[in-house]
Chains A and B, each alone.
Chain A
Amino acid sequence: MNTFDFTQSFRDADLVRGVMEEIRRTVTRPWVLMEICGGQTHSIVRHGLDQLLPPEIELVHGPGCPVCVTPLEQIDRALAIASRPDVIFTSYGDMLRVPGSNRDLFSIRAQGGDVRVVYSPLDAVKIARENPHKQVVFFAIGFETTAPPNVMAVRQAKALGLKNFSVLVSHVRVPPAIRAILGSPSNRVQGFLLAGHVCSIMGYWEYPPLAEQYRVPMVVTGFEPLDLANGILKVIQLLEAGQVEVANAYSRLVTFEGNRPAQQMISEVFMDCDRAWRGIGVIPQSGWRLRPEYAKFDAEERFDVAEIAPKESPLCIAGQIMQGMKKPHDCPAFGTLCTPEHPLGATMVSSEGACAAYYKYGR
């Protein structure tokens, strides 16, 4: 067969060991690296990549799980909307387990709410067309990666003249989060693995000013063991050489400019806004919301849920974990009061959350 296996080839044990050997040869002193993306955290722990790294390298886990950082007030708004009898609430699967102040979407569904898992926001548009007498709401969460399909859904709903489709937007962006982490006085991160999927849409032109300002090298990195090993090697090479630059170790998918038509479409529909990150707090200009000309597709406007503004569990240290200040086992509730079945906070909820990954893979 002539087909190339895009997963197995990047999980080749010999190739990964070779890169690990190169990392061991290169490293001379301790370094703290942050993988920004939750998909990378999941992959690192699933494949046990961190165990193969030399002891000098510490990986801390960034805030790049969209499920984890979706703020409590947006979850509570989602729950309020989903409980309405006139609503079909649609969402990506892993949002259903995320706890709001006192319940989750699963319990809304169990109590009779029409909550449906979709694989794409375009499926939600289809549901809206098929159910003209219901209000269909899609929970549009995510980083830059999920913005193009979410934007497509809104544009399609507009083109179809749908009056019963709206999105509850909770979009966040990576560069402002990196700025917040690096700008914190307690920051420990010395090098970044940038999120490959985010960069496949956005390119990496936004990052050189950040790297320069904070003197921190960054490397665009993929998700398979070999991608991650290569990304780590590249950051270590830059750190050891005292070089500050933004390098690309995921060139099979990412270019400097990124996907320009997608970026163009995003900026037509979304605009920057301040956004609260669950466990971290408000990061200025770190999110996207719908532009005023798309306001009629905004579920927050349609359902009058802006007043909902709840408080977090005081036990949860997700915020410090996502800023790289603490690890999951530093939390007294980890694995006892807080488990994937009964998550107290953001990072235990999604399989991409650092606490859930540590719990699942027995760290």
Chain B
Amino acid sequence: MTDSLDLTGAVCPIPLPHNEQIVLGHGSGGKMAADLIAKTFLPAFDNPALRAGDDGAVVEVPPGKLVLSTDSHVVSPLFFPGGDIGHLAVCGTVNDLAVMGATPLYLTAGFILEEGLPLDTLQRIVHSMRAAAEEAGVQIVSGDTKVVQRGKADGVYIATAGVGVLPPGRQLGGAQAQPGDVVLLSGPMGDHGIAVLAARGELGFETDIHSDCAPLNGLIARLLAACPDVHVLRDPTRGGVATTLNEIARQSGVGITLFEKNLPVRPAVAAVCEMLGFDPLYVANEGKVLVILPRQSADRALEALRASKEGREAVLIGEVTATPPGRVLMKTAIGSTRVVDMLAGELLPRIC
């Protein structure tokens, strides 16, 4: 600084509004953060608890036990045929509550945003969350936003937590499968995993496979109304049907036998899996539910599932046996029997 500086008429430059992309300031907790909430999150998720603007949401809950669940969502690419990370973040938590037999009511959402994420992209994701929440009949009542430096995240990560209410007298869980039960699956396996893989554009071919990502609470409510004797419900997400059934077999101390010829797989998914050396039994689903219930209720359950669009292709895929405890077997299409193990690590394409 020197004395000769003439400051007459000097003004601070007006900061750029940064309304096209996420910058670190959006996570500062200051005016930019408030702006982001007011312009992006509030209009989409609008409800009294969120609008109150307090540190926590105060909500009404009907009688029954509370069920809580949380799930973090990372997916590349953020948008894929049949869904996107926002849709996934709502459906994932709604479905985790629904398979517990609970009625999902409220969600919270935490966003980790990468610096440079186009605001337009965030808006599309938020709108998709709103649509999924409306479809599922839940409210997003609390949220949080953090911004990390460019390169420290992959666009956006979303963590959702959910609260649901378990009607009095209802108890479902992975430990309740019993010998004599049957295993139903609400539709074809592997659509989500293959849709996301294909959307990365690394396969060198295009597919018309869409993710099955959908909220299942409506389907499950209709199923439970028709068949209150359901023992286990679970959504076979990462690790696929094989890994989920292994978990249930271990929790319940029972054997599960699958019938290979009954396993539903779309031809396009089967073809991609054949080429890459994947087994659809291990590929992720985001809109399917496994149902374990007494054999005498199977027909009624299938009828109830097939009455909804998410369960139109429901089939019986296996049965629960006393032995071998903790293992999943498969009667192959050619009449032999083999073990179906859990997924060991990352699903890797085979060389040839």
Q: For B333, list chain A residues within 8 Å (CB).
A: 11, 13, 47
- Per a CB cutoff under 8 Å, which of A46, A47, A351 touches B350? A351
Contact yes or no, B334 A93, CB < 8 A: no
Extra A-B contacts (9), CB below 8 Å, given A47-B333, A362-B327: A16-B334, A47-B334, A94-B277, A123-B202, A145-B352, A197-B352, A352-B350, A359-B341, A361-B338
Q: Separation in Å of the B87 CB from the closest CB of chain A?
A: 26
Q: Separation in Å of the B199 CB from the closest CB of chain A?
A: 15
With contacts A92-B351, A146-B351, A352-B350 known, is A97 near B345, CB below 8 A?
yes
- Per a CB cutoff under 8 Å, which of A118, A341, A361 touches B344? A341
Interface centre among A48, A94, A359 (most CB of B within 10 A): A48
- B34 interface contact, C-beta 8 A: no
- B134 interface contact, C-beta 8 A: no
A119-B329 Cα distance, complex, nearest whole Å: 31
Instruction: For B352, give the chain A residue with the smallest CB separation.
Output: A145
Give the number of A-B contacts (CB < 8 Å).
Answer: 101
A106-B344 Cα distance, complex, nearest whole Å: 14
With contacts A16-B334, A362-B338 known, is A340 near B344, CB below 8 A?
yes
Please classify how large the interface on chain B is, using the bins under 10, 10 to 19, 20 to 34, 35 or more: 20 to 34
Instruction: For A361, give the chain B residue with the smallest CB separation.
Output: B338
- B63 interface contact, C-beta 8 A: no
Q: For A39, list chain B residues within 8 Å (CB).
A: 352
Contact yes or no, B338 A17, CB < 8 A: no
- B348 interface contact, C-beta 8 A: yes
Q: What are 18 A-B interface contacts by the 8 Å CB criterion?
A: A13-B333, A17-B335, A46-B332, A48-B336, A67-B351, A92-B351, A93-B351, A94-B351, A117-B349, A119-B204, A142-B351, A142-B352, A197-B352, A341-B344, A350-B351, A360-B341, A362-B329, A362-B341
A119-B346 Cα distance, complex, nearest whole Å: 16
Binding site for A on B (CB under 8 A): 202-204, 261, 267, 270, 274, 276-277, 327, 329, 332-339, 341, 344-346, 348-352
- A152 interface contact, C-beta 8 A: no
Contact yes or no, A48 B337, CB < 8 A: yes
A352-B334 Cα distance, complex, nearest whole Å: 21
With contacts A119-B202, A359-B341 known, is A94 near B336, CB below 8 A?
no
Q: Separation in Å of the B32 CB from the closest CB of chain A?
A: 32
- Per a CB cutoff under 8 Å, which of A16, A17, A120 touches B204? A120
- A247 interface contact, C-beta 8 A: no
Q: For A17, list chain B residues within 8 Å (CB).
A: 334-335
- A141 interface contact, C-beta 8 A: yes
Which 4 A/B pairs are nearest by Cβ-Cβ distance? Answer: A362-B339, A48-B336, A93-B348, A93-B349
